[in-house]
Structures are given as structure tokens and as C-alpha cells.
Structure 1
Amino acid sequence: MEFLSEDNIIRKLYLPIQWLITPMFFFHVHEVVHQQRVKLWVQNALLAPVFIVTVIHIIHFFYYQGKVSVASMPDYHEDGLLLYINFISFLFHGAVLYVIFQMLKTSLETSKKIARKKNKEQKWYMTIVIFFVMIVSIGLSATFSMIQFNIDHTWLLYTVFILVSFVGYYLGYVGVYRSTLVSEFNPGPNSVSKNGLNTYQKIHSYIIEERCYLDMDLNLSEIAQKFNISSGYLSQLISTHSEQSFNDYINELRIQTSKKMLLSNQFEEYTIESIGLECGFKSKSNFYTAFKKFTGLTPTAYVKSTKKRPVS
């Protein structure tokens, strides 16, 4: 076939689609476990390598195009830049798989009161992670041997690619079936509204009484672990009963406290920035942004409008 011929440009260009495999798996697992999308900066960090490597491959192709024929260009399994990139790709996949493993491990440890089907789902993901680790180990061994000892392990790399294809088809076929279980163990808004009010009230009382919201490092998983529920379920509870995201819910409590501090003689020696830090905000800009969002005023304008105290 012409497509498989040695002088086919597409074959020699080597678009590194394999760099997307574990990031996409991470996005899926994260959304199932935490019931929220991955933060934008994390998405960019995981997807950036495929674009960087694509540019490198294109530059590599056009560098050789003017010097040798297409058929004579280096293959991905020959000693050179492409082989080193393949080795780095296996290291990258290993790192992403480790993060996925830790995420699943933490979730399983804190999901004793969650439906059994959810545990089964996460254990299935663990199986996929283990299988991926085996593939990555084979790939690392093969590429390292080729780089370090110039041993021809091309057949091993072909085995890796076949295994990756098998896993891809398996995830596509079985994953579609398994994903239908998500709706069964992730309670919807109506279920949360009916059955989660008492839990929400306990959590809300705990956050208020312990003044947890003043901790600038407070996060969703910390509260979820305290009450032995998943981060996704806690997020749904807060969204349903406060009609806010977790961050807005916590920030509003912080702003309520900061308003009292701004007008209190006890804190008149504090600067506005210091009050923001005392209330759990990590920076002056974060404090001002949140204050304006919930009051419509900056802290300075709020103090002036009340005429209770001079601005520091």
C-alpha cells in the first residue's frame, strides 16, 4: 500500500498523538472522582507537551527533507532525536499515571460510605492504571536499551504500540458501559436536596463554629475527608443548598468576617491588606476581588461609606 511505503510523508512525520493518552485518561478519572472539571492550568500543563513535541517533529522533518529523501529520514526507533523523545514520552506517561494512582488511592480511602458501585468503578480504573504501567515499563526498557546499548528492540516497541491500541479499544468499548454507572452512584441535585440537607447543615455548622474558612489553605477535599464523603458529593451539597460553588461559599463567609473587622475598633491598627490575610485570603488582590463581588464596593469604599473608622 502507498500509505505504508517508505517515502510516505505522513509515515515519516510522526505526529505524537500518543502523548494525549494518559492526559485524556486523567481528565476522565478526575471528573468521575471529583465531579468537577480539571483546572485550566492543569489542562494546559498536561496538553502542552503534545504541542511542543509536534512542533519539534515538524522541525525535525523539514530539517531532513532538504538533505535526504523521505525514505532515508530517521525512524522513531533509530538512534537520534525521535528515539529520545519516545523515551521522554514514556517518562511523561509514568508521571501522569502516578498522579492518577494517587488520586484514586485517596478517593478509595475516603469513600467508605459511598455506594459500592463507585468503589467498583474506581478499582476498575486502578486495573487500567496497572496495565498502563506495564506498557510504560516495557517502553522504557526498550528505548533505554536502544539508546544506551544500541540494541535493536524494534519488535518491543511494536508490541507496546499494539498494547496501547488494545487498551484504547478496551477503554472505548468497556468504558462506555461503565460510564453508565456514574449516574447511579453520583447523586443528582434532587437526591442531594432530599437526603443531604442534614449533612450539609452539619458541615455548615462545623465550618462556622471552627472558623475553618479563615484557613487560607482550606480546600474541598479537606472538608470531605473530615466527614468521610467524596469531594464531588460535598461540592453538590454546597451547590444545592447554598447555590454557590465551594470557593464562593467560603469566600462569602470570609467577606462577612472582614466587614466586621473593618468596622471594629479592635482592628483599627490593621491595614486593609492585613485584614484580608487574617480572613483567609492569600493576597490583597484576591481580597479586593472577592469583596467587590459580594458587596459591590472595594474595602476602602465600604469603610468610607460607613464613616465608622479611618482607612489605614
Structure 2
Amino acid sequence: MIFKILDFLIIINAIQGVIFALTILFSKYFKNTTNIYLGISMLIGVLINAQYFMMKYDWYSHFPKLAIFEDIEFVLLFPVTLLFYYLKFLNPSFKLKAKHKLLYLPFCISVILNLFVGGHAHFKIYTIDNLTWVPTFYAIEYYASILLNIVILIVVYMLLFRNKSAIKILVHHNLKWIKLFYYFHIVLIFTWISLEILGKLYPYEFTFILWLVLTTFFYWVGYIGIFKFRLAQNRYEIRKVIDKEIKTEYKKPSKSKSSISDEDNKYLQEVKNILEHEKIYRNPKLSRQDIAEKLGISVGYLSQVINNNSEKSFSEYINYYRVEDVKKMITNKAFDKYSILSIGLEAGYNSKSAFYTGFKKETGLTPSEYKKRHLS
């Protein structure tokens, strides 16, 4: 009874996966080159589960011609489409080149040879006199699928953790999401490899339970991925719009009535110049140390200069510039199609809560309220 319930849940998960993948591929809201790779990967995952399900219930014995479907090694294709998803996520301008397309070759060779053997074994279209090479081919195919998956995991690891300069990563883009996706990818591949090994050592069948858990989490992570990618893509496009916009002067923070020394004023102007022209406040990890090092002064003296001039602490001063940046964007029609959150993150906030708290502290309004009041 338990097994039947779990099998039912696997079927529901497969249906969910198909709907989810088709939504990614054809919805106007999510459709883009990057999500296409994610959607295709999802469909491939569903097909791999379908292969397992049909084998478990011995469909191939009842419908021999369906066995040709079992022979197609989708595990040779799955890591390739996921790799392209990683590359496109990290670099929106990434385009497939001939060297990338070569990664499809193992899957194409596998399909061609399996169809050739299937024409003889399953459809009796022709006769192959010499089949001695087939077991060797299946062994090579099996180990090649494991090796390819491991190699691509290593390649993605180098991209995410070791060689970020090798690709054009989004400036200040938070990689937490894609790293989480990668960790789950590791779990998925190594669980599959472990089950393959256990299947050869023990007669017990627990694979379907693990596939149920893994596919459930995979669809969940994929769903989160759509939101995270859309946010990242918005920020990438916002940055391009900003570059085209005519720069306008910021309203300067009000000065206190106390006198400012010439030396203080010199460094204050340098701080303003860095913030207004280099826009370094858009870096969510910006610290007092970063600016102090640029100016060649101590962190304490930098705080003193800012506080004496603006009656603001360093964090409040940086928040001011970020809020001004957000205000300019949310009241500009060129940014209407982008979410307010993506605008806030691009202005330098590292989270939704920090953005809304910082904005309301400076203006007394939420970003949405400010936009609505300004437009009215």
C-alpha cells in the first residue's frame, strides 16, 4: 500500500515537472534563453523518471517496442543542458559556440547507435549479423554517462568557486541561489551513482523513494530559480538602462552649521566624487575601510569627516545615496517594467528587508508608496 502511494506521488511529481517545464518554455513571463535551458533540463529529468517507472512496472515486456525509449541515455544530455543554464545565468550575454555544441556529441552518438540496435532488436526492421560489440558499447555508454556528469560538476565548481574572472559574472550579483542549486545538483548526481552501485550489489529496490524525494526538491529549487533568475536578469537590464541614462546631479546632504576645515572639505569632496561618479555605493559589501583606503586616510577620520558635514553616520550617508538612486529609477518610466526589489538590489542593498528598512528610514515611505505619491 505504501509503495503504491509513493508511486502515485511520483506520477504526480512527473506531471508537476512537465507543467512546470512547459510554463518555463512557453510562458511570456518566464520565457528567455536562460530559462529555456532550465525548462529543457526539467523535461529531461521527467523523462529519466519515466524510464525508471516504465522499467519498474515491466512495461517493456508488455509493449516491446517501447524498449527503444529505455535505450536512450538521457543522463548524457541532462548535465549538458544544466551546464548551459549555469553559464547563461552567470553571463546573460553567453552564446553557444561550436566547442560547446560538441558536448551534445556523446548523447547524439548514443541515440544513433541505440536506434540502430533497436531497429534490429525491437522492431525487426533488419538483421544485424554481428552483435558482439553491443555489450562493449553499453559498458562504454554507462561509464561515459557517469564520467560526463562528474566532469561537468567539476567545470561548474571551477566557474562558481575558483575562476570567476573566466566569465562575465553580473556585478554585485548574489551567487547564493546558484550555489544552492549546484549543491543540489551534486546530491542528485551522486545519489544516482550510488544507487547504480547499490543496484549491482543488492537486490533490494528503494530507488523510487529517493527519486521521489530528489525530484520534489529539484522542482522546488527550479521554481525558486525562476524567481532568482528573473531578479538577476532585471538587474542586468537595469544596469544597461542606467548606462544610457543622462546623469543628473544628486541632491547633496545638508551641511551642518559648524565650520569645516579645508582638509575636511578636501576629503569630503573626494568622498562625494567617488560616490556620485564611481557609484561604489551600489556594492552591497561596501565598507568604511574600502573608502578610507581609496582616500588614504584612517577609518576613524573618514567617519569624522562625514559626521561633521552631514550629521549622518557612515551607514546613513551611504543609505542616502542608495535611496536617491532608487528614487530616480522608480520614478523614471524607463524602469517601469522592472520590479522595485530588483531596483533596490541594484542600488546596493543586499536584501529585501534591508532595502525597505533603509528606504523608509530616509523617506518615511515604502518604495511603492513613494512611487505612487510621486506619480500622483
Pick the TM interval, shorter chain.
0.3 to 0.5
TM-score, scaled to structure 2: 0.39
TM-score, scaled to structure 1: 0.46
The structure with the larger Rg is 2
